Amino acid sequence: METEKVKSLLISPLTTVKEAIRRLNETGQRILFITDAKELLIGTLTDGDIRSCIIDGYLLTSPVESIMKRQFISLSVNSADLQSRARRLMQQHLIEQVPIIDEDGKIIDVLLWIDFLGENKTSPLKSTVKMDNPVVIMAGGKGTRLDPFTKILPKPLIPIGDKPIIENIMDRFHQNGFSRFILIVNYKKEMIKAYFGEKTNPYDITFVEEDEFYGTAGGIFLLRNIIRQPFIVTNCDTILEGNYHDFYQWHRDHDNVMTIIGSHKEIVVPYGVLCMNNGVFDKIDEKPKLDLFINTGTYIFEPSVFAFIKDRQHLDMDKLIREIQAAHPSRVGVYPHWGGWFDIGQWDEYRKSLKELADV
């Protein structure tokens, strides 16, 4: 790895978790290396470590030294057959990077999986298994927030680049091994069906038609005789960047009935916020930044959730979540996600997404 790229993966133990997330996004890697004042390697931090710490209640302002792994895998620059040993370690421990340290314990290089097999080869972390779990796309809404565009086109067919939104969503799932899609359609449904009917698709598509508008979750009931295994539900105006298999595996590992994919967002309050104690002024916090996890509109369900939806019931997703949580208080989980997330359901975000996705 080039020297500058190695440096981009190094952080101090006092770096905040929030800054570590930003660095992971900037580098596109899944690991950072913590070095002390003498530049000695003292720990590692992966995206999975950060996710676990957030679930455990750590603040994003916490220093990474409180959550880093102090025991890590590395190789000495003087090791015989350095690259062969690094490759074996990656395969044995299911890792994508091995740091190389000198005699003093300073990190001088990082060997990557793609250094050995190229970018098109499967990494030890990525599943080669094709996922049979269906992906349900809620594509029946009127998309009123995108008027007047949606008076002509249904929201799923609004273009992002040279493809409509819905095809961009499906392509990303397909790249992660998912090939079975169920589209719940209603508004301008014939246009959506015609679009996919006129082209050769690399995945299987089933259309399920609503005869009325059943809200953001009610249409799921129509799948009760179709789906028998865990399934993913996503809105037709949300695009996630990330490893979708990780989302699904998190859901299974935590034995959830439902998992909500939550995306980290830093929200800047554009005002001075008054802080007070029992009505007495304390201070003004100028334009504070809030760290929040936003509902992305992507969910993973167990088939048992069909019991919470009635036939021909208008039901929105927030109500369904509350009902599932009431029955299973500890089995509605949140997967903390901090990769790209694009909400294309309103004009400002649509314009922003056009630019950002063009740069991806």
Q: Are residues 180 and 204 in contact, defined by beta-carbon separation less than 8 angstroms?
A: yes
Q: Are strands 231-235 and 238-240 parallel, antiparallel or unpaired?
A: unpaired
Check whether 88 has a pLDDT greater than 90: no
Q: Are residues 264 and 247 in contact, defined by beta-carbon separation less than 8 angstroms?
A: no
Question: What is the model's pLDDT at position 306?
Answer: 97
Question: What is the model's pLDDT at position 124?
Answer: 55
Distance between CA atoms of residues 118 and 61, nearest Å: 36
Query: How many alpha carbons lie under 13 Å from residue 260 in its C-beta half-sphere?
Result: 19
User: Domains in the chain, start-ordered, CATH in brackets?
Assistant: 3-117 (3.10.580.10), 135-359 (3.90.550.10)
**DSSP sequence for 170-237:** HHHHHHTTB-EEEEEE-TTHHHHHHHHHTS--SSEEEEEE-SS--HHHHGGGGGTTT--S-EEEEETT
17-27 and 47-55 helices, crossing angle to 10°: 150
Question: What is the model's pLDDT at position 117?
Answer: 61
Question: What is the model's pLDDT at position 126?
Answer: 55
- Where is mean pLDDT largest: 51-55, 116-120, 247-251? 247-251
Share of residues in the chain with pLDDT > 90 (%): 61
**What are the pLDDT digits (tens) for 161-189?**
889 999 999 999 999 999 999 999 999 99
Distance between CA atoms of residues 184 and 217, nearest Å: 10
Per-residue pLDDT averaged across 184-208, rounded? 94
Check whether 299 has a pLDDT greater than 60: yes
**What are the pLDDT digits (tens) for 225-247?**
999 999 999 999 999 988 898 89
